[in-house]
Amino acid sequence: MENNVVLRARGISMTFPGVKALDNVQLTLRKGEIHALMGENGAGKSTLIKCLTGINDFEAGEIHIDGINGTIKNHSTRDAQNVGISTVYQEVNLCPNLSVAENLFIGREPLTKLHTIDRKSYNSRSQKIMDELGISVDVTQNLENYSLAIQQMVAIARAVDMECKVLILDEPTSSLDDEEVEKLFKLMRKLKEKGVGILFVTHFLEQVYAVCDRITVLRNGTFVGEYPISELPRVKLVAAMMGKYLNDLESIHKENKDFTNAPMEISAKGLSHTGTVKPFDLDIHKGEVVGVAGLLGSGRSELARAIYGADKANTGTLEVDGKPVKINQPIDAMNKGMGMLPDDRKAEGIIADLSVRENIILALQAKRGMFKLLSRAKQEEIADRYIDLVQIKTASRETLIKQLSGGNQQKVILARWLATDPDFLILDEPTRGIDIGTKSEIQKLIIKLAGEGKSVLFISSEIEEMLRTSNRMIIMRDGEKVGELDRELSQEGVMHAIAGGEG
């Protein structure tokens, strides 16, 4: 091995049932460098890390570690720690009810002659470790008294004190604020000076350019390349991560159709819900995609909830398909051919311990009523059709939904509503937190649905994606519908409308 390399993985391959998760992937980590591991959701970052730390059992390939002859294969986190690979995960894996010092030393406490633990000694040693790393804490205090950032740093301090050569940081910054991230970076740079090889996984591009020296990019379980940071500007990095998707996104174009004469699907007059959304009028034609723009908390979701009956409207009337309807609760809306994808999909959307099939048929079953059970064969047929239609990447229709990536979970929920064959679909932030590839697929699907004559109300924080898919946009501000834009939709125009015109 080159003398400055601490970890080298070659030809790592690994298959999950039905999915090739890693295919001939390589990684070279040098002493004293911060190395970013980049890739979209499902690119294989986590799988690779789990191979290095002994959680996953890879099928082919070899891993070398500096100072150890021959290849190594870890079978547990403990094995990995013994050869000098420590990992700090997104969720802090420490005990909040123990003191900082105990968290640093538990399992390897110094003992007194009487074989009791030597509190004095480990408290002073802990304080020294933390002082050296520039983390100001009182080590005798319980961990739960400190912020998440400090807890994260204690986890890193523990890893470092166990004399690790390789430190893997798996999205450690996702729950930290800017100031805390900066503290963490300071610590990372300090460790880098000490010669630790740091593998840094993150979703935030700015952070990569702020601390990293080198980047390894994975895509779809394969190795794309390893680049020094100076040779890979952002645009190229994004292109490397997404491959073909970038062109895909460009190619999404809606037709500019005139809907003024199309039949009406939804027609709301003076609908409101006290405290959340002021009275609004809204017409949506058949086959039309209407975007809802506005800042977070502007009443975007609340507008949709009032239509759908999730918040019962206090005033106003609603016509569906030209007929006046009374909607008291979501099931009424469902029976009138509406479907709604809520924005908080963890809390309101997926049921983690049910299979993909069960999650898909859920809304359809609810619509039919408890006592008209769908036959198993029918369920399977529906599930297969929609897995195919929205291209859910899953090993089988019986896979538990919690085993799917975030983007695929989102697609399952979308499939759930499509299965009810709605005429009017409300999508609240359907693309949040999923990678660009899946985003483009969902956007394409929206356009396709509209082409089939379905109407869509599309809520998103990304104006760009609404511009690509919507025929018309309504603007929300402070719980009030303040405008409608059709024709000449432009990012600038929408921003101005959201901000309030005057400026």
Identity of the residue, 103 or 460, whose beta carbon is nearer to other proteins in the bound complex:
103
Identity of the residue, 117 or 389, whose beta carbon is nearer to other proteins in the bound complex:
117
66 lies in the site for other proteins, by CB under 8 A: no
Among 4, 24, 71, 145, binds other proteins (CB under 8 A): 145
CB of 103 to other proteins, least distance (A): 8
Interface stretch with other proteins, choices 132-140, 235-243, 249-257, 381-389 (CB under 8 A): 132-140
Interface stretch with other proteins, choices 125-133, 143-151, 378-386, 430-438 (CB under 8 A): 143-151
Distance CA 111, CA 102 (A): 13
Interface stretch with other proteins, choices 139-147, 203-211, 351-359, 438-446 (CB under 8 A): 139-147
141 lies in the site for other proteins, by CB under 8 A: yes
Distance CA 173, CA 162 (A): 22
Interface stretch with other proteins, choices 94-102, 272-280, 308-316, 483-491 (CB under 8 A): 94-102
255 to 284: interface string for other proteins, x by CB under 8 A: ------------------------------
CB of 137 to other proteins, least distance (A): 7
Asked if residues 156 and 187 have their Cβ atoms less than 8 Å apart, the reply is yes
Distance CA 363, CA 278 (A): 29
User: Which residue type sits at 111?
Assistant: L
Q: Dihedral, CA atoms, 372, 375, 376, 381, nearest 10 degrees?
A: -110
Distance CA 325, CA 162 (A): 67
Identity of the residue, 117 or 246, whose beta carbon is nearer to other proteins in the bound complex:
117
User: Which residue type sits at 162?
Assistant: M
Interface stretch with other proteins, choices 76-84, 220-228, 321-329, 450-458 (CB under 8 A): 76-84
User: Which residue type sits at 402?
Assistant: K
* Pairing label, strands 166-170, 264-273: unpaired
In DSSP terms, 315 is beta-bridged to 272
Identity of the residue, 137 or 284, whose beta carbon is nearer to other proteins in the bound complex:
137
Q: Dihedral, CA atoms, 176, 181, 186, 187, nearest 10 degrees?
A: 20
Asked if residues 133 and 190 have their Cβ atoms less than 8 Å apart, the reply is yes
117 lies in the site for other proteins, by CB under 8 A: yes
Distances (CA, A) of 141 to 101, 110, 138, 184, 232: 8, 19, 6, 21, 44
175 lies in the site for other proteins, by CB under 8 A: no
Q: Where along the sequence are the contacts to other proteins (CB under 8 A)?
A: 77-78, 81, 92-98, 102-103, 106-109, 111, 115-117, 119, 136-138, 141-142, 144-147, 150, 158
